[in-house]
Amino acid sequence: MRMEIRFAGVGGQGLVRASIVLAEAAGIQAGLHVVQTQFYGFETEGGPSCGDVVLGDAPVEYPWVRQPDLLVAMAQPAVYEHAPFMRPGTRMLVDDLFVTDVAMVDRGVTVLWAPLTKLADQAGFRKSANMVALAACARLTGLLTYDRVESALRAAGPGHFKVNQQALRLGWEADLRSHVFAPGEKSAYMEEGFRGV
Amino acid sequence: MTRRLLMGSEAICEGAIAAGVRFYAGYPITPATEVAEFMSARMPQVGGSYVQMEDEMGSFAAAMGASCAGVKAMTASSGPGLALMQEEIGHAIAGEIPVVLVNVGRHGPGIGNATGSAQMEVMQAKYGPNGDCPMIALSPSTIEEAFWLTVKCVNLAERYRTPTILLTEGLLALQRSVVDLPDYGKVETWERPRPEGAPSEYANPYMATSLTAVPPMGDFGTGYRSIFRTGGIQPQHGAKMTRFEAQHFSTTRLNQKVEAHRDELALTEALQTEDADVLYVAFGTQFHPARAAMQMARAKGIKAGVLRLITIWPFPDKAIRQAAQHAKLAVVPEMNLGQLRGLVTQALAGSGIRIDGVNHVNSLTITPQEILAKTEDMLR
């Protein structure tokens, strides 16, 4: 088993941090083989940014994420950049505030909409949207329990722990609305009224 | 033992601390900045010093100064910084000052692509400074090994009184994985030779009577005559010699003190090379695709083996000849345009073995499929 997970968005959204906590949950708490890497540009905030995790039940030979099995898109440019590499049968978790167009996702990729940023607002701290995304994503892997993810968050340090924990809980329980795009099918899902919900 | 999710850079810092490094001077550069970041946090915790310097030359020079005071010292940089440090590296070699340099490889030449990983300093590590220089350079393949090879780099720098380089890559240094850290008290550490007699009987830190000798080095402030340090060759010998003889002796000794231990320094790991018709020679992160390619080739009935170079300098040419005993061809996958391949070709000169490479300068790890395709292409 090899699972490639990518948190993609713009610098400042905490995507690398989300990938580190996921790697901690999988590698230390769940005992899986794990490699975490990241990509970011020269910009500190606002540029393209990714936090990547490869999970496996055997040592990870190839550390890079090539074609994510699970993409978490926290901003619109992330969809444009990474959707073309998604294979049929994989999943994309998108933030319903900052992603408004998934028209290009048309090859049997399941798009799961979640109010990631809005739930973070509900927790009282927008920057904790990465923890909402992390929890929703961790649940989607089917390999982790909530407790393991929370333990990993605890290990990451005490900063903003309470609000992050709240965000984690909201993310874990988030209601994900899905739609599988048939080959060739375009943005019908969008037109049904999910744009900028 | 502690199990932790560690970044490669963090494992390097922890290895340095376990080996006794208590001084770090550095200047930030992608992708080596994380080493400085971790050290800035860790050095004060272990009673050491961290200095943010004005540039790379200053960083290496500060590390040399600390080392002269008797403290195990380290600095880190990447390709462009390594280029700037060459003067100081040569100085440390000639002055026989132990310093550990971590080079986190990135794409070049010039500024290149700062965030792109590469293995482009194979030759620079050894041939960067002017003059005939010895070099000890080790290259880890995993994060756990990065810890242990940093320990080794520190130990070797001390034992042989010469700068050592941990030759790693952005890909490894910026990646996180699960690592089992040992109890630091149980990590074997080596010390530099220090003078034992009375200070009045100590002439200077360069007095040697054999070509493989590593003379004792007194710490600054301990009364031994060790204040005078220069990058100039110190023509010192116990016996009477002309200046020319002494110069020859000293230059030869700088190299021989390392060269004489080539066999124990040149570390490699051989996988199924005993019957290998096809030999893959790889180092650092590119060992992993080479091993996977070996398994894929074996499944197809091609007898492939891998020789992983742990030591890059002194170059393990004996091990390469040994591993290639039955080989008809050799493939060298590396993240540059063929620096290691050139050295392998030199090591296998006259053997009739066909040698080719799989080379990436796009910062994407080489895939096992590419190595296998090259193999099948050559076998055709």
pLDDT digits (tens, 9 = 90+) for B114-132: 889 999 999 999 999 999 9
Taking the Cβ of residue B5 and every Cβ of chain A, the question of whether any pair is shorter than 8 Å is answered with: yes
Q: How many A-B residue pairs are in contact by the CB < 8 A criterion? A: 52
| Whether the predicted pLDDT of A45 surpasses 80 | no
Taking the Cβ of residue A56 and every Cβ of chain B, the question of whether any pair is shorter than 8 Å is answered with: no
User: Residues of B numbered 317-376 whose beta carbons fall under 8 angstroms of chain A's beta carbons: which are they?
Assistant: 364-365, 367-368
Cβ-defined contact of B175 to A36 (cutoff 8 Å): yes
For position A125, which CATH number holds? 3.40.920.10
Question: Within a domain: residue A132?
Answer: yes
Question: Within a domain: residue A188?
Answer: no
Maximal C-alpha separation, chain A: 47
Question: Within a domain: residue A192?
Answer: no
- Three-state DSSP at B20 gives coil
Indicate the average pLDDT of chain A. Answer: 86
| Whether the predicted pLDDT of A188 surpasses 90 | no
Cα→Cα distances B350→B190, B316, B345, Å: 40, 17, 9
User: Residues of B numbered 153-192 whose beta carbons fall under 8 angstroms of chain A's beta carbons: which are they?
Assistant: 171, 174-178
Taking the Cβ of residue A55 and every Cβ of chain B, the question of whether any pair is shorter than 8 Å is answered with: no
Query: What was the pLDDT predicted at B59?
Result: 98
Question: Within a domain: residue A94?
Answer: yes
Question: Within a domain: residue A97?
Answer: yes
Cβ-defined contact of B115 to A35 (cutoff 8 Å): no
Question: Within a domain: residue A166?
Answer: yes
Q: What is the pLDDT of residues A1-13, one digit of tens each?
A: 999 999 999 989 9
Neighbours of B287 (CB within 10 A): 25
Q: What is the pLDDT of residues A144-169, one digit of tens each?
A: 999 999 999 999 888 889 999 999 99
Query: What was the pLDDT predicted at A146?
Result: 97
Query: What was the pLDDT predicted at A44?
Result: 66
Question: Within a domain: residue A153?
Answer: yes
Taking the Cβ of residue A24 and every Cβ of chain B, the question of whether any pair is shorter than 8 Å is answered with: yes
Q: How many residues does chain B have?
A: 380
Q: Which residue has the higher pLDDT, B206 or B101?
A: B101
User: Residues of A numbered 32-51 whose beta carbons fall under 8 angstroms of chain B's beta carbons: which are they?
Assistant: 33-42
Q: Which of B117, B178, B288 to mutate to test the interface with A (most CBs of A within 10 A)?
A: B178
Cβ-defined contact of B178 to A28 (cutoff 8 Å): yes
Query: What was the pLDDT predicted at A187?
Result: 43
b/e code B102-138 from CB counts within 10 Å (16+ = b): bbbbbbbeeebebbbbbbbbbebbbebbeeebbbbbb
| Whether the predicted pLDDT of A197 surpasses 90 | no
In degrees and rounded to multiples of 5, residue B102 shows phi and psi of -100, 120
Q: Which residue has the higher pLDDT, A66 or A170?
A: A170
Query: What was the pLDDT predicted at A195?
Result: 34
Residue span of the structural domain in which A85 resides: 2-183
Amino acid at B89: I
Query: What was the pLDDT predicted at A189?
Result: 38
Q: Which residue has the higher pLDDT, B124 or A196?
A: B124
Indicate the average pLDDT of chain B. Answer: 95
| Whether the predicted pLDDT of A181 surpasses 70 | no
Confidence at B151, pLDDT banded by 50, 70, 90: very high
On the CB side of A85, CA atoms within 13 Å amount to 15
Taking the Cβ of residue B41 and every Cβ of chain A, the question of whether any pair is shorter than 8 Å is answered with: no
Q: What is the pLDDT of residues A106-126, one digit of tens each?
A: 668 888 988 899 999 999 999
Q: What is the pLDDT of residues B47-79, one digit of tens each?
A: 999 999 999 999 999 999 999 999 999 999 999
By C-alpha distance, the chain A residue nearest B178 is: A27
Neighbours of B199 (CB within 10 A): 12
| Whether the predicted pLDDT of B213 surpasses 80 | yes
Q: Note the ipTM here.
A: 0.86
Q: What is the pLDDT of residues B301-357, one digit of tens each?
A: 999 999 999 999 999 999 999 999 999 999 999 999 999 999 999 999 999 999 999
- The residue behind tokens 């798009």 is A111
Q: Which residue has the higher pLDDT, B30 or A188?
A: B30
Alpha helices in B19-140 (DSSP H): 33-45, 56-68, 79-95, 122-127
Q: Residue B347: which H helix or E strand, with range? A: helix B339-347
Q: Which of B143, B176, B364 to mutate to test the interface with A (most CBs of A within 10 A)?
A: B176
Taking the Cβ of residue A29 and every Cβ of chain B, the question of whether any pair is shorter than 8 Å is answered with: no
Cβ-defined contact of B289 to A62 (cutoff 8 Å): yes
- When mean pLDDT is compared across A83-87, B41-45, B265-269, the lowest value belongs to A83-87
For chain B, domains (ranges, CATH) are 2-186 (3.40.50.970), 266-379 (3.40.50.920)
Cβ-defined contact of B176 to A39 (cutoff 8 Å): no
pTM higher than 0.90: yes
- Three-state DSSP at B122 gives helix
Confidence at B196, pLDDT banded by 50, 70, 90: very high
The total number of structural domains that make up chain A: 1
Residue A24: its chain B contacts at CB < 8 A?
5
Cβ-defined contact of B365 to A36 (cutoff 8 Å): no
Query: What was the pLDDT predicted at A157?
Result: 82
Q: Which residues share a beta bridge with A177?
A: A113
Residue B271 is encoded by which pair of tokens?
Answer: 């996988």
